[in-house]
């Protein structure tokens, strides 16, 4: 990353059980937290295809599929896995400190 | 030596297709000696002589033949599109492609799965990209936004005032037929197609029902393109005749030349290849302890690093069966006490025409699927899916994502693949480019088949001929 980022507390871990998703906004930036297959992910809640929200998308083994036209994104890298998207979505580092989920957002 | 010659002479004199490997026990005799008895579907035979003419090679090397298959065979046969676990929730879909065809396999309601032709009814854009999955509350086209409900009915058209000539009530997404069996979702593009039960036939369907494959999940899924016609790739897995030359490392623990072959109706055939017994080609050359040492497994990750030893008087096969039962029970958290030695050890290979192999055994719990490359009749896509029993506590893990290998990669490189089995697949597929090229170079117009050991190849190619004619 060229820009610097800092971790922010966003949600108690207990509020994101296995399989759950949680949309939220940090500094006006729409994010989506996912607890999928035992891993936490923080991604942009905006599809790179037509800027529709991803929050109602299906989460599979390491991916999320946009509910609007079906573009699929890698939860770890943000890479577009199929059309109609070709551009990646933003992904953010996540960690758990004192039972809180913290997300690194650019400052 | 003179005894063997006499056996061979008698075999030649026997009526066509009746000769069997001389001096070796049959697969049924091997299984009959096991401690935990095998079920009826294992202990039966269904061989038929189907002719001994050469198979004309044009079906493998002629692009026009491949096009005819697209126009006929693939439109009329039942095809495995996905597992039910690929679309567990209402709204979940999985895109299945075959040649130029594409379908959105969608769970419309808890117990209602449909296969929509994957094309917008406005100007044809695919509604979902190929090779993907997801969940939809509606299907919206990415071009002008025409939208269909999950049940296929038309929902919305932008500027509908401009389409007074379109009856939107009738603008429902066309569907292929869908049937389910053993956790597999099958589709057929032919509205006149027989039911899946009729397509399998009574006996073969009863076998498949007995396996309860709905209680398994996809634990590993590997895909790779192969440099040959799809039918050559399938043919390569239909017999154990090639084991001694192609997989010499397997032969010490595989009854290759005494493998059993069966055909059922037009669409299903099988072999039972006994494991834990020595190849008749190696009689007198290896000991029972060698058999034990060389046993090659498809899913040996479940076994860890354990080594086996033979107690006095025991056969390698009986020792293997006992140890397998215990170790697979532990590794997969399932109860196998009533499962026969044969089901634990042997390789059961079934094909469902045109392009699916089911291996219901415990040591090789797999599914193969082969699809033609729509751009090139000399290429095909091969997939292997390993199916493990759903854990006793009932939680079904998500199906594994497919790992796509590049052409130059070994099957051993797929994460989670047993290296011994990956090596076997490499051996199988390395022959195929040579065979494709050889058929094209050959002065001979066809392929010659053995009457017994290659009966599945003939049975399969007969079905191809029937559909393409
Ligand atoms: S907005 Fe996500 S795929 Fe079109
Ligand atoms: S092609 Fe689909 S809406 Fe126009
Ligand atoms: Fe092989």
The answer to whether residues B181 and B327 belong to one domain is: no
Q: Per the domain annotation, does B204 fall within a domain? A: no
The answer to whether residues B260 and B349 belong to one domain is: yes
A88 to chain B, minimum CA–CA distance in Å?
16
Pairwise CA distance, residues A55 & A57, whole Å: 5
From the CB of A71, is ligand 1 less than 6 Å away? Answer: yes
Average pLDDT value for residue range B216-221: 96
Q: Per the domain annotation, does B182 fall within a domain? A: yes
A82 to chain B, minimum CA–CA distance in Å?
6
Mean pLDDT estimate for chain B: 93
**pLDDT of B441 higher than 90:** yes
Taking only the tens place, the pLDDT of each residue in B340-391 is 999 999 999 999 999 999 999 887 789 999 999 999 999 999 999 999 888 8
**pLDDT of A73 higher than 50:** yes
Q: Per the domain annotation, does B202 fall within a domain? A: no
CATH code of residue B365:
3.90.380
Average pLDDT value for residue range B409-413: 98
A49, A57, A69: residue with CB nearest B135: A57
Pairwise CA distance, residues B105 & B460, whole Å: 27
A45 to chain B, minimum CA–CA distance in Å?
16
Average pLDDT value for residue range B8-23: 81
Residues 234-293 of B with CB under 8 A from A: none
**pLDDT of B303 higher than 60:** no
Which two tokens mark B174? 């066309």
E strands, B23-174, are 55-56, 79-83, 92-98, 101-109, 112-117, 133-135, 138-140, 147-149, 154-156
Q: What is the pLDDT of residue B392?
A: 77
Residues 390-449 of B with CB under 8 A from A: 398-401
Length of chain B: 469
Q: What is the pLDDT of residue B240?
A: 98
The answer to whether residues B231 and B182 belong to one domain is: no
Quick one: closest CA in B to A62, which residue?
B401
Q: Per the domain annotation, does B73 fall within a domain? A: no
Q: Per the domain annotation, does B56 fall within a domain? A: yes
Confidence of residue A2 (pLDDT cuts 50, 70, 90): very low
B141: nearest Cα among B153, B128, B159, B160: B128
Q: How far is CA B340 from CA A69, B41, B158, B314, B346, in A?
A: 49, 12, 61, 17, 10
Contact A83/B at CB under 8 A: yes
The answer to whether residues B276 and B372 belong to one domain is: yes
Contact A59/B at CB under 8 A: no
**pLDDT of B308 higher than 90:** no
Contact A68/B at CB under 8 A: yes
CB atoms within 10 A of CB A58: 21
β-bridge mates for residue A103, sequence order: A8, A94
Atom of ligand 1 nearest to the CA of A66: 2
Is the model more confident about B9 or about B272?
A: B272
The answer to whether residues B124 and B25 belong to one domain is: no
**Whose Cα sits closest to atom 1 in ligand 1?**
A50
A92 to chain B, minimum CA–CA distance in Å?
22
Contact A39/B at CB under 8 A: no
A61 to chain B, minimum CA–CA distance in Å?
6
Mean pLDDT estimate for chain A: 94
Which two tokens mark B339? 């499962």
**pLDDT of B296 higher than 60:** no
The answer to whether residues B51 and B93 belong to one domain is: no
The answer to whether residues B169 and B227 belong to one domain is: no
Point out the domain boundary residue: B157, B192, B227. B192
Q: What is the pLDDT of residue B306?
A: 56
Q: Per the domain annotation, does B418 fall within a domain? A: yes
| Closest listed ligand to the CA of B248 | 3
Q: What is the pLDDT of residue B320?
A: 87
Per CB-CB distance under 8 Å, the chain B contacts of A81 are 132
Point out the domain boundary residue: B132, B159, B192. B192
Taking only the tens place, the pLDDT of each residue in A49-60 is 999 999 999 999
The answer to whether residues B429 and B391 belong to one domain is: yes
Q: Point out the least confidently predicted range of A1-15, B79-93, B337-351.
A: A1-15
Point out the domain boundary residue: B158, B192, B226. B192
Is the model more confident about B332 or about B454?
A: B454
Pairwise CA distance, residues B177 & B183, whole Å: 16
A12 to chain B, minimum CA–CA distance in Å?
26
Beta-carbon separation of B132 and A81 below 8 A? yes
Termini Cα distance of chain A: 12
Taking only the tens place, the pLDDT of each residue in B157-200 is 999 999 999 999 999 999 999 999 999 999 999 999 999 999 99
Confidence of residue B11 (pLDDT cuts 50, 70, 90): low
Q: Per the domain annotation, does B65 fall within a domain? A: no
Confidence of residue B2 (pLDDT cuts 50, 70, 90): low
Q: What is the pLDDT of residue B289?
A: 80
**pLDDT of B331 higher than 80:** no
B91, B131, B140: residue with CB nearest A68: B140
Pairwise CA distance, residues A84 & B203, whole Å: 45
Atom of ligand 2 nearest to the CA of B141: 2
Pairwise CA distance, residues B166 & B266, whole Å: 43
- Give the domains, in start order, of chain A with CATH numbers: 5-106 (2.102.10.10)
Q: State whether residue B230 is helix, strand or coil.
A: helix
The answer to whether residues B12 and B103 belong to one domain is: no
Taking only the tens place, the pLDDT of each residue in B56-72 is 999 999 999 999 999 99
**pLDDT of B89 higher than 80:** yes
B91, B140, B400: residue with CB nearest A69: B140
CATH code of residue B94:
2.102.10.10
**pLDDT of B299 higher than 50:** no
Atom of ligand 2 nearest to the CA of B124: 1
Taking only the tens place, the pLDDT of each residue in B225-252 is 999 999 999 999 999 999 999 999 999 9
Residue B157 belongs to what domain range? 79-192
Taking only the tens place, the pLDDT of each residue in A18-62 is 999 999 999 899 999 999 988 999 999 999 999 999 999 999 999
**pLDDT of B311 higher than 70:** no
Q: What is the pLDDT of residue B10?
A: 64
**Whose Cα sits closest to atom 1 in ligand 2?**
B123
Number of separate domains in chain B? 2
B128, B134, B140: residue with CB nearest A58: B134
Is the model more confident about B95 or about B252?
A: B95
From the CB of A65, is ligand 1 less than 6 Å away? Answer: no
Q: What is the pLDDT of residue B298?
A: 45
Beta-carbon separation of B134 and A57 below 8 A? yes
**pLDDT of B262 higher than 90:** yes
Taking only the tens place, the pLDDT of each residue in B71-83 is 999 999 999 999 9
Beta-carbon separation of B133 and A37 below 8 A? no
Residues in CB range of B249: below 8 A, 6 or more apart: B294, B296, B423
Residues with CB under 5 A from ligand 3 (ion): B 428
**Whose Cα sits closest to atom 4 in ligand 2?**
B144
The answer to whether residues B142 and B287 belong to one domain is: no
Q: Per the domain annotation, does B225 fall within a domain? A: yes
The answer to whether residues B95 and B148 belong to one domain is: yes
A37, A50, A82: residue with CB nearest B131: A82
Confidence of residue B422 (pLDDT cuts 50, 70, 90): very high
Q: What is the pLDDT of residue B304?
A: 53
**pLDDT of A3 higher than 80:** no
Q: What is the pLDDT of residue B13?
A: 55
| Residue A27 preceded by cis peptide, ω within 30 | no
Q: What is the pLDDT of residue B307?
A: 58
**pLDDT of A1 higher than 60:** no
Angle at A62 between CA B329 and CA B89, to 5 degrees: 75
Backbone phi, psi, residue B163, to 5°: -125, 55
Residues with CB under 6 A from ligand 2: B 120, 122-123, 125, 141, 143-146
Per CB-CB distance under 8 Å, the chain A contacts of B134 are 57-58, 65-67, 70, 72
Contact A84/B at CB under 8 A: yes
**pLDDT of B1 higher than 50:** no
The answer to whether residues B122 and B154 belong to one domain is: yes
| Closest listed ligand to the CA of B349 | 3
**A71 CA from centroid of ligand 1 (Å):** 6
β-bridge mates for residue B75, sequence order: none
Contact A88/B at CB under 8 A: no
């Amino acid at each position: 990353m060229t820009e610097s980022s800092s971790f922010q507390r966003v949600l108690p871990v207990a509020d994101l059980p296995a399989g759950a998703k949680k949309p939220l906004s940090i500094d006006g930036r729409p994010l989506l937290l996912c607890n999928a297959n035992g891993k936490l992910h923080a991604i942009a809640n905006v599809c790179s295809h037509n800027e529709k929200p991803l929050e109602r998308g299906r989460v599979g083994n390491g991916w999320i599929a946009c509910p609007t036209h079906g573009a699929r994104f890698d939860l770890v890298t943000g890479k577009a896995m199929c059309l109609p998207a070709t551009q990646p979505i933003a992904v953010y580092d996540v960690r758990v400190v004192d039972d809180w989920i913290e997300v690194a957002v650019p400052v | 030596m003179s005894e063997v010659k006499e056996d061979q002479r008698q075999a030649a004199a026997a009526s066509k297709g009746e000769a069997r490997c001389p001096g070796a026990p049959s697969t049924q005799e091997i299984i009959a000696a096991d401690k935990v008895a095998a079920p009826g579907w294992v202990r039966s035979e269904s061989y038929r002589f189907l002719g001994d003419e050469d198979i004309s090679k044009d079906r493998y090397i002629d692009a026009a033949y491949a096009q005819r298959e697209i126009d006929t065979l693939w439109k009329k046969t039942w095809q495995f599109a996905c597992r039910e676990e690929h679309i567990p929730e209402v709204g979940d879909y999985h895109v299945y492609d075959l040649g130029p065809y594409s379908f959105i396999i969608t769970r419309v309601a808890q117990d209602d799965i449909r296969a929509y032709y994957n094309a917008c009814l406005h100007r044809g854009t695919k509604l979902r990209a190929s090779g993907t999955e997801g969940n939809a509350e509606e299907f919206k086209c990415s071009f002008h936004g025409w939208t269909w409900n999950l049940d296929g009915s038309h929902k919305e058209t932008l500027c509908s005032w401009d389409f007074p000539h379109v009856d939107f009530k009738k603008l429902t997404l066309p569907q292929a037929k869908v049937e389910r069996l053993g956790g597999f979702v099958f589709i057929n593009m032919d509205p006149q197609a027989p039911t899946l039960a009729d397509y399998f036939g009574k006996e073969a369907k009863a076998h498949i029902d007995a396996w309860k494959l709905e209680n398994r999940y996809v634990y590993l899924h590997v895909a790779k393109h192969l440099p040959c016609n799809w039918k050559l790739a399938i043919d390569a897995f239909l017999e154990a005749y090639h084991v001694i030359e192609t997989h010499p490392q397997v032969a010490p623990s595989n009854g290759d030349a005494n493998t059993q072959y069966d055909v059922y109706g037009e669409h299903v055939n099988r072999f039972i290849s006994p494991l834990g017994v020595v190849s008749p080609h190696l009689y007198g050359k290896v000991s029972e302890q060698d058999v034990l040492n060389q046993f090659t497994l498809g899913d040996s990750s479940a076994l860890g690093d354990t080594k086996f030893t033979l107690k006095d008087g025991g056969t390698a096969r009986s020792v293997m069966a006992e140890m397998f039962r215990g170790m697979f029970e532990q590794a997969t958290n399932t109860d196998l006490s009533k499962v026969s030695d044969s089901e634990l050890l042997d390789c059961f290979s079934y094909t469902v025409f045109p392009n699916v192999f089911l291996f219901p055994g415990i040591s090789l719990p797999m599914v193969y699927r082969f699809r033609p490359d729509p751009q090139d009749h000399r290429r095909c896509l091969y997939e292997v899916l390993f199916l493990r029993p759903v854990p006793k506590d009932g939680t079904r893990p998500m199906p594994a994502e497919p790992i796509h290998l590049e052409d130059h990669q070994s099957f051993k490189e797929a994460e989670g693949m047993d290296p011994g089995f990956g090596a076997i697949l490499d051996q199988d597929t390395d022959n195929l480019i040579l065979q494709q090229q050889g058929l094209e170079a050959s002065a001979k117009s066809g392929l010659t088949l053995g009457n017994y050991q290659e009966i599945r190849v003939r049975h399969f190619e007969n079905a191809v001929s029937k559909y393409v004619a």
